[in-house]
Structures are given as C-alpha cells and as structure tokens.
Structure 1
C-alpha cells in the first residue's frame, strides 16, 4: 500500500526551486507594498464571465511508492475558444518592463503544476500556462504564456517529486515513529497535581471542539506540561497537525523546551522548532541581511535544502543552539533557517508576533493552519498590551524630511514624495495640534495615499541595490511607511489617531485601543486556542480583550499547595503619589522588621524606578548591614543573570532585591525553595498616569465599561499577582508575602485577589 502525503503546491515548488540569496530586494518584495489580494483582484477584473477565479485544485499523484495529495489554489482558469489557460498572478515591484518570459523558476513551476493538476482532472491532451506579473505601483501588466502537452507536464511533475522524495521519505518514516510514540505516551509524572488533570482535560476538549479556552491557573500548578501533553495526544490521534506554543519572554520559551524534553525522556518523538529573535541569533556584528555583507545570506537558498535534510535526519529538538550549530555547518542564516524549519516541525515555540503581528507574522504558517493547528498562549495576560502595540503604528515627520534632503539632488521622485509627506504632516500640525498633543477619529486617508506614492517611488531605486550614504535612511523610511500602511488597513472604531509635537518634531500614531477584533481575525484559520496564565483576573475582562466569543470556554483553578505555606499580610499604608514622601519610613520599617525576623532572600517590587530608587537610597542609608541588589533599566542579559545568581539557597544571611512591577524579575523567573523566602509588593501597580492611558480610559468609558478599571485597575493588579507569584513554586515552598497599600482592603481589590491570597492578616 502506497504511503499518502498531503502537500501544498507552493511548499513543493519553494522547496525544489528556490535559489539565490537573502538580500534587501528580497526583503522589499516580501514586505508586500500593497495587499496581494488587491493586485490579484485588479488582474481578475479583466477576466471574462466564463472565466474562473481562485479555483481550489487537488490531485493525487503516485510516484516511487508515495501517493502525493497535491493541493493548491489557482488564481485563474481562462477559457479562450478551444483553449484552456491556467493563469498564475504575481505581484511585481519596481515595474514589469525588465521581467522576461523565464523570470522565475518558482513561479513557472507553480503554474505548470496547476496546469498538470487541471489537465489530469479534466483529461485534457494539452493546456496553456500563463504567468501574469502585475506592477503594484501602476496599472501595468505583463503576461507570458506557454503551451504544454499533458505528457510534458506529467514528466515535469514527476521530476519535481523526484527532488522532493528524499525529504518525503524522511518525513513519512518519522511520522510513523511520531504517531506511535504519541499514542503510547503517558503523563510524565506519577500523579497529577491538584488541578492539572482538570486543565489537561479542558485543553483536550477545547481542541476537539475547535474553541478557545481561557485558563486562570496558579503559579506552580504545572500549566506548561498540562497544556502541551493533551495537545500532543491530539496530534497523535490525528485531531490536529501541529501546535504553536507562544510566549512573551525568553524564560517561558525555555520552560516549554524543558517540557518537550521531559516528554522525550518518556518516549515522545516530535520535531519542535524554537524561533529566536533575529538579532539574538545573527552571527554577524550587525544584522544586515544582504549578500555582499553576510556570507550566511549569500547563496542561502542554494544550500538550505541540504541543511534541512541534515538537521531533520539527526535532531528532534530544533532549539536555538542546535539551529545555530547546523547553520554554521551549512553556512546559512540561523534565523531564516529556523523559519523554514518551523514549517516542517510538528511544534513551534515562538513569540506572539509570529502569529499575531500583521507586520511580521508567518504567512505560510497562517495559510497552512487551516489543516488544523492549535495555539497555546502562555502568560496570556501579556497579550493585551502586546496586542495593542502590534496593531498600532507611528511615524515621525523628521524621518521623511531627512530623506527629502538626502535625495533632493539624487532621485527627484523620492525627494518629492518624501517632501509631500513632510508637508502634509506640517499642515496637520497647524490644523489640529494647538496643544502638545491631539486626538481624532480621522484615519488621515490622504497620508496613506502619500505613503503609497513614496513606496512606489522608492522601490525601483532600492531594488537596484544602489547603496550610498543615504541608503539606510531611505530603507528605514520605506519599512516605516510600509508598516504604517499595514496597520492603517485595520483602522476601525477600536482605533484613534494620536498626534504629538515636541519642538520641531511631529509624530503621527495610529493607536489600537482594543485588540480583540484583530486577535480574533488572526486566529480564524487555527483550529483552537488555549490562553493560560496565573493572572487572568477578572476572567471576563481577559476573555473580552483577547478575542474570546460567548461560546468559548473558561477555567479557573485554585492553588494545589497548602494555604498555610503562604504567610500573607497587608500593610494599610498609602502609596498614592501625594503620600509617598511621608510613607517612605513606614515601608522601610515594615520591610526591615520582617527581614530581621527571618534570614533568606527577599524581593521588593515598586510601581516605578523613581519610587524604587527613593526607597532604596533611604533603606541602604538606614540599614547598611543588609545586603541589597537593585534592578537597573539598562541591564544586559548578563547583568540579569548576575542579579538572579545572588539569590542562592545557601545564603547565610539576608539579601533584599529591589525591582519594578511588570519588569523582568516580576514574572517568568523561577526561584524555588530557599532561593526566595519573601516578597513585598508596594502599591497596586497602577500604570503611570499619561495621555495614552487616559485615552484608553475614555474609550472604554464611552463603550459602557468602567474605563478606570479597564485602563488602570486590572492591568495594575495583574502586575501585583505576577510579582507575588514568584514566591510559592512547589509543594514544599514556604514564604512571606506582604502587600503594602491600604487599597487592598477595599471591596474592589479584595474581589480581585485570588482565593489563595484571601487569608491575609493586617500588619500594623
């Protein structure tokens, strides 16, 4: 019996025919100046009534013991007299005059495979195949057509499959191992912790039902393994094909990698790829993706297939260090290598933006996710602010004024287009900016028109690669304009235009106030999504903000650890800005008295660096005998590691670490056992009062919500819960948690405390 392989035509031709280098022109072509859909629609508007658009094609091909199920979507099928023409439409940048009949092997291969599939299904003797290039900056089109017999296309298709067969054989052999291992896999611990089984069952049901699940699960319950394990089982049962585990911070990615490693120790065979940020894995001093600078970019596509075959044959964990090892061996860019591997892997570990950010998301992943992928969103509370940031954009007047000046004597079209943008922003400043800032619901459509024109003028020059001392400034302006336009297309009632001036500078921002609709849109092609965090409180707020629907599921779990392990106090002191000066001493005394009563390591969290530094100075002056360490906003990764290394379990005395709420030490770190015996939280974590927070407050107030709670209270309380969650990480951990603010005694804040924190006592 032949083995069956489902394969998209695009994935097949890109694997077999891609060649050349990664360079700036490649980046520009992939930045999608205009939505490719619009370009296709423009070409298709010339079709006749009898022609067909966006036609799904499937075809079964038997070759060398494999049964290939080819799938694709043909842009157009044209009927001209007795002739059938397959039309493959491609967007072109910088004009179409230079494009010849054999411009791209990949494009022609895709068109010919569609021709073969249609001819086979319709039993045609011959068929015409056409590639149409549409200039995104004009109305110009250029089409090249060739006619093939069915036998010619069949021979071509077999040749393509021959090139793919080695990878196909490896994938099939591994798929058998993977499925068998997943079916036999059991939970990697002798017993479930309290709540773990409930979480695993809920996650599995969510995947089967194709829903979203919002989980509040306390720190230490084992959330990561409890969502990964049932998702892996669902893959083994054929319910889904792939999982995508997303995090906001590097440390959480490490925890996910450790969970997969634990499952491998218990027999799991599964390819899992971690995508690490480009600037972290780049082998060069500067992250310049151009073939004349980087040998790992030069000829990348000529070497990538061998690199893929090598790592796929020998490794299951495509983590950062493994990817870097094979990237050096084959001289390929480690970042692009990881993106290519992600498409082949059974699981992906990555940052949120590879799925949700319209500027950088993995388009191929989204396109193929209709086959059944599950999203696992770790520390999901972070996605609210990250979502707002991903769906917002800004640009500055000075950026385009600088380009105008640099290109005035070089490229008149670029200078003129940049100058028009500068002039328009100046006009907006005069009309709307009577104060330092202004807001409006005006999308500024004319600005979008000017930005498109700037991109059109810039592209031809950039694609020629004529680098000079102004090239980088133009490139920055190009990508800024492109990113702005992508966000502008999303503009709706959840957006606001924000204008700000500082001296001669003017900044235009498109602010996303409510990310739910955009998050929901990007999740549409995925089968299921599971959002989990210790701090999804209140649950309805996060379900609303993260794109949940009424029929989606929620789950709230209590702590699995004995309540008596957490000694919890509230100090009724005011930490409001107007009272801070007079309550510094109360905070210092409360902290010092508790440090005196027990030895060990403590963390104290503040809502701002200014507040932290003020208490730090007074505390160290009054108590020079207490060893201290303080977070710094400019800390490198090495500095952060040194800070945490001081929190040793065998410290003979006490150590007090000063840190900020919402910072790198308030979530994601794991100081188990005696590495941390106490946490102090100063204040209720309210975000700093500023214009953008006030805009959020007004937006939600006008939507019938409690604007103050949505903009300040809930985000602030999330930071408090995260900081307190550093303390009790295992069944044997014991510790002291002190909340220093009288607002914790009010009904509003009491209601936001998790069950495991409601046994607090007053500390006077």
Structure 2
C-alpha cells in the first residue's frame, strides 16, 4: 500500500562516494585493466574463504551478499542497497568483509587510508546487523596490493548503536539533496503538464512525428525516422519526450549529437519552451579538451589548481548551481567552475546527476571507453535516447568501437624508462612480436578475423608496469609520452573485451612504423547493446535512407518502428538539375575542371546571391577553385581550409549575407563541417552545386567493409561506398531549402546520378528533375525559374 512518502532508491556505494568524497582530482590512472584485476583478485580471495569453509565446519562464509534496507526518514522512504563482498561467521562473531585492490604498499595503509572504503563497509555492516538482530558486528577491509600480492586486514568491532548513529548522520547529510530532488520534480512536472506546443500550429509532418515519438516512448520501443529538412525534427521529438516525464514513462532524456551545432539547436528548442513556462534542468556536456582551463590537459593536483582540492568544493558548487540555473550551457559551466574553483569537465558530469535533459555527444552513451557509467551501469532507470543526425552514428560507432596502436610508440617509451628493466624486457617482447607481424604481412596489409590474444596479454602486463612507473616518475622527462602509451594500451585492451565476429584485426606497414588495429566493421550488435541502456530510443535524420541499411548497421531490431515523412516544401520552390556530360571519376578529373567551373558560373549568372559548391576532396576543390578565380575574377569567393578552428568557421558562414546584391560562391568539401548541420535560411543560400557522387576514398578499411558485407548480405559495395556517399549528397543538397519561403537551385554534376544504382536512392522530393548537357541548358532553365519568383 502506498503511504504517500517520496521514494529514494540509492546504492550504498553511490551514497558514500557522493557524501564522503574529498581531496584532489587525479585522472592520470583510470585503467579498466585494474578493474579486471580487481575482479580476479576478489574471486581469488573468495575462493580461499570457500576452501577454508570446506575444511572447517565452524567457519561459515557467503560471498556477494545482497543487502537491502528500507527506512522512513522525514518525508522520504529510502531504499538503500548494495552487495557485500563477503560475510564471515567464525567463533561466534560476524564480520562483513570488503576487498579493495591498491598499488600503494600495504604497510602504509591504515583505517584512515580511505574514508569512503570504511564508510561503505560500515553501512553494509549496519544493514546486516539490523536485519539479523545483532548487537555488535565486525567490519573488515581487505587491502590487496596488485604488484606484490601482499595483503593487509583492517578489522574493527562496532556496536549496533554506533553504526545506527553513523547511518543516520549519512541520511542527515544527504537529506538536503533528496529534498531538492523532491521539490524540483514537483515544480518541473507542474510546468510540463501546463506546457503547450510552442508554435501556433504544427507544420506538415510535425504532429505525425510528435505522435510517433510519444507512442514509441509509451511502448518502450525504438523509432527510426527519416524527416526531410524543414519539418522541425528537434521540437517534434523533444516536446513529446518532455511531456512523458510527469507520467513517469521516462526519468531522463539524453539528446545525443555528433556535432556542437546540433546541440545548440536542442538548447535553443528547450529555451523556447522555457519562455512559455517550462522548468527543466538542462545541461550541455562539453568534451574535456574543449572546456579545460589549461593549455595542456593535466587532471592532477600538481599541475592544475582546479584539480587540487576539487572534491572539497564540488558538492557546494553543484548545490548552488542547480538551485540557481535551469539551462546550464557551456558558458554557465565555465562561470560556476571558476566561481568555485573546480574542474569544469568533472563538475559538469556531476551536475548531470541532477538534470532532466542532457545534451551530449554520442560517445557518452555508446563509447565503451567513456560512456557514462554513473547512469548506464546496472541502472534500472527509464532513460530516453534522442539520437540526432543519426546517419553520423555509423562511422562514429566504427571509430569508438575500434582501437589502434603503433610499434614506434613502444620503442620511444623504452628510451624514456631507461632504468626499469622489467618494462624494457616487456617492450622487447612486444617489439619482437610486432616484427614477426611485419614479416608475416610481407610489407602489405595483413588481415585476420581474430584478435592477437598473445599481444593483448603482453599489453596487460606492460600496462601494470607502466602504472607503477607513472606513479613514481611524475617529474621525469618523457612522462607525458609514457602516459599517452598507457592510455592507448588501456583503450586497446578495452576494445579487445568487446571484440566479436563483426571485427577484424589488421596490420599495416606505414613507412618506418607498423600499425595494429582492431577494427569494428559492423557496429550494429554493439549499438543495439548500447541502446538497451535506455528504455526507448528515437533515431532521426533528414537522410536515413535506405532505411533498411541504417536499421541494419545501427542496431535495429525487427519490432522497431519506422517513419518516413514527406518534405513540407513545395516542389515549385526548387529546381534540381543533373549534368550528364561530366564524369568525375578519378581518371577523368583533370578534364572536368573547366566544365565544372563553367557550370558554376552558369548557375550564379542567373541570380545574384550566395552559393555553395561541394567537392569530394580538398585537392579536387582546390584545382577547380584556382581555375574559377582565374576565369571569373569579379566573383567574390571563399574556400574551406582543412584545419579551420571555430573562429574561422564562424567567419566563413558570416559571409553568407542576407539580400546579397552580388554573387558570392563558397567552395567546400562534401561530408565536411559545412555540408550538414548549418542553417542558412531564407536567401542566405540560394544554390548548391555538388560535384561527384560522394564516394568515400578507396582505402583498406572501406574494402574490408565491402568484403564483410558481400559475405553477409551481398551488398558490400553499397554498404561501403554507395550509401555513405549518397548520404553526403543528400545532406549537402539539404542546405538550400530551410524554410517554407526559401527558393533555390541544386545542380548535381556527374553522369552516374542517372544510373539505376543512384536513381533508386533519390528521395521523393527530388522529383521532378531536369537533365542538362551544357551551361546554356542551365542558364535557360534557371532564367525561367527565377522569373517565376518575381511573378
């Protein structure tokens, strides 16, 4: 029977780590290998206890004991749970045992070594003693040194009254956080229930999309949506998602993006609803390298003032921020980080625990190296993933599920760790193994389906040795290079743990070096596993076609929902031309430079304004650009640079002025930063010219993908080259028509667009289209098109 109390469920570990954390932030050593070793050591010590149990009838031992305790505290009902490593019964006494692995010599460890460890085992002891009517109980911290195998037991007796007082003090400390959460949820839910759609009416397709998103969340399903430009995908997915929060269908929304610009669009959408009365704690997570206050990222107390004492200040910073801000963007994170002198990245991760809507990169949900374990490890919460521009997740997933390492990095580290014979010996073994791989590859690429287990075993041994060296040689020259190898090894080993039949390992000779890479070819299975971290997921894009391909490679299931929406724009507002007299295949490219330049000029000659020309490569673009500016000196132009920073990108886009009374042409690269995600509305862009069919460059990895899918479904070339290329074309063409009043021209230059392989991939809104064979054809058609605008 519901007693009306607010329920708070929290693990013992989460509770003590939050309440008792203190001191410095030090992220130098975060190894999954240590976690693996910790598990093995737990199993080893537990086996020893079980062996003793078999020998001694009076010795009783239970391992991995689940403990749960429910208590009414003020207006709350707390359910606190955890899992004790072991419960020992011997000589009439009960002991709760907690095993911890360390690298510090055990003779330097006492009961004050880590107050979180002691707090954790005391809470376990209290719950066990309370449940079993014990007046007193022992706690034991078992510290095991992973380097030398030495063990230290710290054992202490507590009376139930002592543990009860300690337990209630913990609840007293946590109360203000629980009270905030309860009060906030009431305020938030009330505002959501009153919230109306923030526009006067739905655009064509918006209501259909919103209803589909709501139904997907209600049913606990996944939805794949192709929604052409202009429908308003962001508001149509975010609004219905937010409306389900008070109904307890979901507890938190993760808006996942590939690029900063799409995250800003989500921020703007939430902000618009906030103007209409919405209260929603919204946070944008920014990558560490983009938000760190230091020129070099060194998350340790010796080199960063914000890491020094970070945990002494961070809880105060969190409480102040969540009580004063609803929309916490990058600038707000930076402001409060400086105010409280805490690490902005770690601070933002902690803030996320108290936020309802989190805007972040795909990595935070899927990457096995960095995904948010605080949410997704053993959680029973109902989360929602809104995956924006989902077509980008294909290559991003391959990247996050792959790992590579270079032979030369080991030899460089060997020179740095001159006095450590163990490390040098291990590096020599690795070098010998990699030399054999080099020989086996016969100076070519060597591919195999299995991971190199022997090499991974050597990597794990080296990782342990490097960890000890790193802790003892922080002032040593070359320290950063050793640290880099440490993290690369850590990533490599982590990927080896998820290696399956959708991977290959390949060895490639690169000049005087050797690369070993575990490559994920088909990320579908791993993405499916990642999406299980959420109760529901909505994957949406303007270019999620063909849907079967994307469902296959993005982890779709047979019972997932699909939705394909029509473009809301009138066909008469755009003209699509296909030039059939130019081939852009590599061997004909040189002869295509002049015709392409003429076509560009033919397009811009019919109406003054802003245009973009997209090319499959920088080299191709530069050749045509040089010819164009030589032949058409009076036309204002700009060209994309391969290493543009944020300031240069913004400047590039500022040149697209409204009501431009002269012709302006921007040359850019397909699949780059300007071919998707930018929003040049109204007459800021009136034409796009696309050169080539967007095929990815032929390379080892693309051919590996092709071979894999040829074996799997006979669609290797399509999956590896045609579909990814066509997706770039569709994205680039979508830059032209952004609002219902926009008018513009799209010119596709490549005769391959008229073959069946490509025509079957044309979206409905690409019909009708017109074939052109000369600049005169273009000029004639566009003259009529722009005349219609005047009428």
TM-score grouping bracket, smaller chain normalisation: over 0.9
Q: Once the two structures are superposed, what CA deviation does each residue of 1:386-426 show, in whole Å capped at 9, x if it has no partner? A: 11111111111111111112212x22222222222222211
Partner in structure 1 of residue 179 of structure 2:
169
Query: How far 1:367 moved relative to its partner?
Result: 2.1
**Structure 1 residue 79 displacement after superposition:** 4.3
Q: Does 1:478 align with 2:486?
A: yes
Q: Distance in 2 between matches of 1:347 and 1:47?
A: 46
Q: Distance in 1 between matches of 2:95 and 2:236?
A: 52
Instruction: Give how far 1:184 is off.
Output: 1.8
Matched residue SS, 1:58: strand
Report the CA distance between 1:41 and its aligned residue.
3.6
Match of 2:276? 266
Q: Which residue of 2 aligns with 1:754?
A: 763
CA distance in 2: counterparts of 1:59 and 1:593, whole angstroms: 76
| Partner of residue 426 from structure 2, selected from 387, 392, 417 | 417
Residue of structure 2 equivalent to 1:345: 355
Aligned 8 A contact 1:28 1:459 in 2: no
Verify: 1:711 aligned to 2:707, yes or no: no
Which of the numbers 648, 651, 654 marks the counterpart of 1:639? 648
1:41-80 aligned at under 5 Å gives the runs: 41-48=43-50, 51-80=61-90
Give, in whole Å, the separation in 2 of the partners of 1:47 and 1:231: 50
Q: CA deviation at 1:96?
A: 4.6
Whether 1:461 and 2:469 are equivalent positions in the alignment is yes
Deviation at 1:97? 5.0
Kept after mapping to 2: 8 A contact 1:94/1:463: no
Measure how far apart 1:81 and its partner are.
Answer: 6.0
Unaligned runs of 5+ in 2: 54-59, 774-791
- SS of the residue 1:20 aligns to: coil
* 2:32 and 2:490 in contact (8 A); partners too: no
C-alpha separation between the residues in 1 aligned to 2:524 and 2:462? 31
Q: Could you tell me whether the CA contact under 8 Å between 1:60 and 1:70 is conserved in 2?
A: yes
Structure 1 residues 51 and 217: alpha-carbon distance in aligned structure 2, compared to 1, 3 A threshold:
farther
Change in Cα spacing, 1:690 to 1:561, as seen in structure 2 (3 Å) is same
SS class of match (1:530): strand
Deviations 1:60-102 (A, max 9, x none): 2233443322233334444446444333333434665543333
User: Where do 5+ consecutive residues of structure 1 fail to align?
Assistant: none
Q: 1:30-179 residue pairs with structure 2 within 5 A?
A: 32=34, 34=36, 37-48=39-50, 51-80=61-90, 82-93=92-103, 96=106, 98-136=108-146, 141-179=151-189
Q: For the residues of structure 2 that align with 1:609 and 1:495, how far apart are their CA atoms?
A: 31
Which of 544, 547, 568 lines up with 2:555 in the alignment? 547
Q: In 1, distance between residues paired with 2:317 and 2:426?
A: 43
Moved more, 169-178 or 707-716: 169-178
Displacement of 1:138: 6.5
What secondary structure is seen at the aligned counterpart in 1 of 2:605? helix
Bigger Rg, which one: 2
Instruction: Tell me the TM-score normalized by structure 2.
Output: 0.93
SS at match of 1:509: strand
**Pick from 16, 20, 30: which aligns with 1:17?**
20
Deviations 1:437-493 (A, max 9, x none): 221223111111111111111222222454210211211111111111001112221
Query: Alpha-carbon deviations, 1:489-531, whole Å to 9, x = none?
Result: 1222111111111333111111111111112222223211111
1:678, CA displacement in angstroms? 0.6
Alignment of 1:293-332 (within 5 A): 293-332=303-342
1:37-74: CA deviations, max 9, x gaps?
44444444345387444444332223344332223333
Report SS of the residue matched to 1:561: coil
Match of 2:442 in 1: 434
Query: SS of the residue aligned with 1:370?
Result: coil
Q: Could you say which residue in structure 1 is the equivalent of 2:30?
A: 28
Instruction: Report the Cα distance in structure 2 between the residues aligned to 1:295 and 1:154, rounded to whole angstroms.
Output: 38
Contact 1:63 1:158 in 2 (8 A): no
8 Å Cα contact 1:36/1:91 also seen in 2: yes
Q: Aligned runs of 1:189-268 on 2, under 5 Å?
A: 189-268=199-278
What's the secondary structure of 1:189's corresponding residue?
coil
| Displacement after TM superposition at 1:139 (Å) | 5.3
Offset at 1:338? 0.4
TM-score, with structure 1 as normaliser: 0.96
Superposition RMSD in Å: 2.0
Measured at CA, do residues 571 and 45 of structure 1 come closer, stay the same or move farther in structure 2, by a change above 3 Å? farther
- Change beyond 3 A, Cα 1:530–1:98: farther
Contact (CA 8 Å) 2:33, 2:460: kept in 1 or not? no
Q: Give the Cα separation in 2 of the matches to 1:179 and 1:692.
A: 49
Asked whether the 8 Å contact 2:244–2:250 carries over to 1, the reply is yes
SS at match of 1:703: helix
How far is 1:30 from its partner?
Answer: 7.1
Is residue 2:572 matched to residue 1:569? no
Partner of 2:498: 490
For residues 298-697 of structure 1, the aligned pairs below 5 Å read: 298-367=308-377, 369-408=379-418, 410-430=419-439, 432-464=440-472, 466-572=474-580, 573-697=582-706
Q: Deviations over 1:647-680 (max 9, x none)?
A: 0113211111000010000011110001000111
CA contact (8 A) 2:111 2:118 kept: no
| Bigger mean CA offset, 165-174 vs 62-71 | 62-71
Measure how far apart 1:241 and its partner are. Answer: 0.8
Deviates more, 1:34-43 or 1:253-262: 34-43
The CA distance in 1 between the partners of 2:405 and 2:571, in whole Å, is 51
Cα distance 1:425–1:234, how it changes in 2: closer, same or farther (>3 A)? same
CA 1:78–1:654: 2 relative to 1, 3 Å: farther
Specify the alignment match of 1:291 in structure 2: 301
Q: Secondary structure at the match of 2:745?
A: strand
Q: Deviations over 1:86-127 (max 9, x none)?
A: 333334346655433332111221222222223333443333
Cα deviation digits, residues 588-624 of structure 1 (max 9, x gap)? 2222111001111001111111111111111111111
Provide the rounded CA distance (Å) in 1 between the counterparts of 2:601 and 2:198: 43
Please say if residues 216 and 535 of structure 1, whose CA atoms lie closer than 8 Å, have aligned partners that are also in contact: yes
In structure 1, the partner of 2:789 is none
Give the superposition deviation at 1:327.
0.5
**Aligned-residue offset at 1:150:** 2.3
